[in-house]
Amino acid sequence: MNQSNTPNVHQLDAKALICVQLDIKLWSGRQALKREHLVQSNPLLASLPPQDLASMGSVRICDPEEVRVFARIKNEAIRALGEAGLPLLGAIGVPQPEFPAVYRKLCDIGNKFNAKAADLFTKYDANASAWKTKWQNENPSNAHLLARLPSAQQVVGKLRFDFHCYTIESPKDLSAEAGSHFDRQVTGLKGELLAEAAEVGNDMLSRYLIRQDSSSHGGKREHITQKTLRPLKRIVAKLRTFAFVDPSIAPLADVIESVLASLPADGQVDGAGLISVWNLATLLSNPANASKIAAVAQTFGADQAIMDMDAPMTVPSAEPVDTSAEVIEAPRTIVQVIPAAQDFGMETQITSVRTPTVPNAGSFVDPCAFL
């Protein structure tokens, strides 16, 4: 990709992004437990430290499930924003083309939140009374803890779902230092993208590519499914959406897409395909390495970047490998068995470049044999 044809954040002055900031308030369903409440139950607790020094905790005043629903809706809104945007100056920056869909989704989530709040308001008095009666009957000595409950209006008044949308631009007519500070914050979006890609890589390694057993070391995965590849497809879409952040972002997406295109379109992924996925996940899990490969792809293309990505290449090992034998290296090696990184709990690591490394026995080491 020609760098001069790729817009960047400086050229767009961040106006390509709509900042969205959630404004959501929840109710805990709890009431502060005061020192005098405990002393009333047990005078021996009079020696408790003062309230200003130590918190006495809280007491539940309703069924926890009645308030958990609001936390779940809040998390749904956070996920919706996270899928479409990146953290930016205390908000989430969403590209303008994506914003209408995000706005509609947040409005739908807000309507769901408000409907649940209205339902809570309608049922609160009856539910709170039943909760109070239940616990006062079961714990008569602590009945006073639930003597004063907030009203339905007070409770629902604590709930709020809203969000604010705005654009940002570099400060005008201020010092160059202030402008450069803004630029550093905005161009940090590349780091946010690579960090998100690293989460995908680490998640794939820990959840899908390393099979955990009862021992301290992970075991090999003989295959993965098409479902396992979905996070990679999602991160490609995210990289495409934010390609304007840095000229190397789109080439990194090209690398991931090239690897995905080389895999079977359906069914299980094993053998050489599994090695490719392992290498890709390992690459993405390290933002510094991903950035280097992205730069290679930007200059020399995705194919060359994939060749570089495969050196070194780490795959699961089925059996321990004796690495003490002398190894005679050809000028350009394709397979070399060396001790693995303990971070992945693996026993073997394979480094791939071009032509074979020849052990003393003269046998060729097949990378697929380790799957």
Note whether 290 and 198 are within 8 A (CB).
Answer: yes
pLDDT of res. 94: 92
CA 75 vs CA 130, 161, 195, 199, 369: distances in Å: 29, 12, 20, 18, 44
pLDDT of res. 114: 96
pLDDT of res. 35: 62
pLDDT of res. 212: 60
pLDDT of res. 187: 65
Q: Count the Cβ atoms, other than its own, within 10 Å of residue 52.
A: 6
pLDDT of res. 199: 92
pLDDT of res. 213: 54
pLDDT of res. 181: 67
The backbone torsions φ and ψ at residue 314, rounded to the nearest 5 degrees and listed phi first, read -110, 130
pLDDT of res. 148: 77
Beta strands in the chain (DSSP E): 17-25, 30-32, 58-60, 86-88, 91-95, 160-166, 211-212, 218-219, 327-328, 336-338, 349-351, 358-359
- Cα distance between residue 371 and residue 275, in whole Å: 8
Q: Count the Cβ atoms, other than its own, within 10 Å of residue 111.
A: 11
Q: What is this structure's pTM?
A: 0.63
**How far does CA 49 lie from the centroid of its chain?**
41
- Span between the terminal Cα atoms of the chain, in Å: 35
Residue-range domain boundaries for the chain: 3-166, 189-371
pLDDT of res. 88: 85
Torsion of Cα atoms, 259 then 265 then 271 then 274, to 10°: 50
- The closest of 299, 317, 316, 318 to 308, measured between CA atoms, is 299
pLDDT of res. 319: 44
pLDDT of res. 111: 96
pLDDT tens for the chain, residues 1 to 371: 344 333 444 444 456 789 999 999 999 888 776 666 665 666 655 566 666 666 656 778 888 888 899 999 999 999 999 999 988 888 899 998 899 999 999 999 999 999 999 999 999 889 888 888 888 787 777 777 777 788 889 999 999 999 999 987 766 666 666 556 666 666 678 888 899 999 999 998 888 887 665 444 455 678 888 998 999 999 999 999 888 888 899 999 999 999 999 999 888 888 888 888 988 999 999 898 889 888 888 888 888 888 877 665 444 444 444 444 444 333 332 233 223 333 333 333 333 333 333 333 333 333 343 33
